Chains A and B, each alone.
Chain A
Amino acid sequence: MTGDSDIIARSLADPEVFGELYLRHAQIVHRYAWRRGGESIADEVTADTFLKAFESRSRFDSTIGDARPWLLGIATRLLHNHRRSEARRLKAFARTAEVDTVADHSLRTSDRIDAVATATAAVRALRRMPSIDRDCLLLYLQGELSYDEVATALGIPVGTVRSRLNRARATLRRSIDATTNEQENDHGRTNTLPHNA
């Protein structure tokens, strides 16, 4: 199978070849854009990502065989133009958790409350963390990239990705734990679990 870097190299002389990259990765870019910004912008961000990639294909590092990190890095930067959509998506995320858990009759009431509280706390933490930390976290969790690939996507050293991901996850965990503790206290019980459990 021809590698992504070969396709990109050939597209320099024959632009149409770049279409192979679209067929290969459009699904992944679309899924990532949808997860972060919702259905309303997924098509637009996907189309824009490939156009931007096409325009900058001469700058693709040919030592990297897989174009996914490069494409998702471009999509991430484009998503910054859709902050309102992302904010709406996050709010919807918390609301949907509520609807899903209420609909699931197998869950106990306390579990439903905890699930909603967890989603709400996660959303709150995500909205408050620096955008660069959020990008690292969501490229990892929603883009399904490895640490090395997140580093390639954002053009930063892998050590920086590690530290930003650690910080982002700690922020997330603190927010969720704090909310869970409030819930526990509301129910008249004390949470005896350590915060990093």
Chain B
Amino acid sequence: MDEQTLFRTTHDDVVPLDDATLSSGHERFLRQIEKRGRRAPSAPRRRMALRIGFGAVAAGGLAAVLLVTGIIGPAGMVGGADSAAAAVLQDAAKATIRTSDPAVGAGQYLVVHTTAVTTINGGLADGTVGDYQSRQTDTLYIPSSQTEKWVWVRDIPSVEKTFGPASAAVAKYWIDGIKAQGDAPEVVRGIDGNFYGTQNRYTPTFLASLPRDPRILLNRIYASTLGQGQSADGEALVYIADALRSAVIQADLRAAFYKAAILIPGVTVTDRQATLDGRTGIAIGRTEPASKIRQDIIIDPTTGLMIGERQVSYATGTDIPAGTVVEWTAISTSVANSIPPAGTGNGQ
């Protein structure tokens, strides 16, 4: 049996919506959009011209190689961060080179502490829908030896914030379901940071292969994120935030990432007193016009280390007020001599 037959026909117990159910669903939908849709949004966007430009360049063999390796590309050609953000990032790059990365001796572990708040959209069987925020704390133990197993301790999540009665009801349904599964943290083990069958992106080999020249590094990022996200510049900043969040980026590459962010158009200082999980730093960020989401990276100006990253939504017409921080992640590191016991191979 081929996989197509297996997944489409075997156990295909789907009962199609009958006319009455479709009609009542349609009516309910119209009532819901009547409440939400009073404000007309802006005109639809068209596909990014930049994608076409990249495609045309990539068609040539040598040009494609140069593009993928980052030797050529748009980095720095159409402006960059404003002067205040450029100064913050330049200072952060200098400070981070002076700051020593944690020294992890033989047999020791680098411990990455992560607290993440995420906005989730959920619903109940009666048609109630709502957005709420969850908080999750993780601790990742990375061994000094590549042959040792990594250990990932994932605490039980909690409800961080709700937005009105519908949101609170949906959040309660969600957290009750999780608590019913038990309250013990999940302890997962994996080689080379590979958990749940997912390959760790930030291997030492991959990180060593990234250019330290900021312009070439940014071109490499543009090439590897081609076609993703709402815009090439927005996705590039998200790429940098994701990489820094891994907490395994060494000082020289961290500095290169900061300098690469200087070359991204639209990056500004968004908050000089940004507090994340009790720590305060300077936020630089960029607002994506289409989604009205601002991506911030928060940096400790003294050490040049990233405190965390966050996304702020300025969209209107939803339960979440404009200006709400819809996602944030705070990271810190320490060194440990041992790891927690137990755990499974892949968390299943």
Contact of A44 among B34, B42, B125 (CB under 8 A): B125
- Chain B residues near A119 (CB, 8 Å)? 6, 10-11
Task: Decide if A118 touches B47 in the complex (CB within 8 Å).
Answer: no
Task: Decide if B26 touches A22 in the complex (CB within 8 Å).
Answer: yes
| Contact A97-B10, Cβ < 8 Å, known A15-B34, A141-B4 | yes
Chain A residue nearest to B129 in the complex (CB): A48
- Chain B residues near A138 (CB, 8 Å)? 7
Task: Decide if B120 touches A81 in the complex (CB within 8 Å).
Answer: yes
| Contact A47-B196, Cβ < 8 Å, known A55-B317, A84-B177 | no
Within the complex, the shortest CB–CB distance from A113 to chain B, in Å, comes to 13
Q: Does A96 interact with chain B (Cβ within 8 Å)?
A: yes
- Chain B residues near A59 (CB, 8 Å)? 44-45, 230, 290-291
| Contact A43-B125, Cβ < 8 Å, known A16-B33, A19-B26, A122-B6 | yes
Chain B residue nearest to A23 in the complex (CB): B26
Task: Decide if B14 touches A34 in the complex (CB within 8 Å).
Answer: yes
- Chain B residues near A3 (CB, 8 Å)? none
Within the complex, the shortest CB–CB distance from B118 to chain A, in Å, comes to 10
Q: Does B43 interact with chain A (Cβ within 8 Å)?
A: yes
Task: Decide if B36 touches A54 in the complex (CB within 8 Å).
Answer: yes
B1-19 at interface with A (beta carbon < 8 Å): 1, 3-4, 6-8, 10-17
- Chain B: number of interface residues, binned into ranges: 35 or more
Task: Decide if A12 touches B17 in the complex (CB within 8 Å).
Answer: no
Q: Does A166 interact with chain B (Cβ within 8 Å)?
A: no
Q: Does B343 interact with chain A (Cβ within 8 Å)?
A: no
A26-55 at interface with B (beta carbon < 8 Å): 26-27, 30-31, 34-35, 39-40, 42-48, 50-52, 54-55
| Contact A142-B8, Cβ < 8 Å, known A18-B37, A127-B348, A157-B226 | yes
Chain A residue nearest to B45 in the complex (CB): A59
Task: Decide if B11 touches A61 in the complex (CB within 8 Å).
Answer: no
- Chain A residues near B125 (CB, 8 Å)? 40, 43-44
- Chain A residues near B25 (CB, 8 Å)? 22, 26, 43, 46-47
- Chain A residues near B229 (CB, 8 Å)? 155
Chain A residue nearest to B32 in the complex (CB): A51
B26-64 at interface with A (beta carbon < 8 Å): 26, 28-30, 32-34, 36-38, 40-47
Q: Does A92 interact with chain B (Cβ within 8 Å)?
A: yes
- Chain B residues near A128 (CB, 8 Å)? 196-197, 346, 348
- Chain A residues near B121 (CB, 8 Å)? 48, 52, 78, 81
Cα A23 to Cα B44 with chains together (Å): 22
- Chain B residues near A8 (CB, 8 Å)? 44
Q: Does B198 interact with chain A (Cβ within 8 Å)?
A: yes
Cα A97 to Cα B26 with chains together (Å): 35
Q: Does A115 interact with chain B (Cβ within 8 Å)?
A: yes
Taken residue by residue from 130 to 141, chain A's Cβ proximity to chain B (1 for < 8 Å, 0 otherwise) reads as: 110000001001
A117-175 at interface with B (beta carbon < 8 Å): 118-119, 122, 127-131, 138, 141-142, 144, 155-157, 160, 169, 172-173
By Cβ-Cβ distance, the 6 closest A-B pairs, closest first, are A15-B37, A58-B41, A128-B197, A141-B7, A157-B227, A62-B44
24 contacts between A and B (CB under 8 A): A5-B44, A12-B42, A13-B40, A16-B30, A18-B37, A26-B17, A27-B17, A30-B17, A31-B14, A43-B25, A48-B129, A54-B36, A58-B41, A62-B44, A96-B13, A122-B6, A122-B7, A127-B348, A138-B7, A141-B3, A141-B4, A141-B8, A155-B227, A157-B227
Beyond A18-B37, A144-B8, 10 additional contacts (C-beta under 8 Å) are: A9-B44, A26-B25, A27-B16, A30-B14, A54-B36, A61-B44, A96-B10, A115-B1, A118-B1, A127-B348
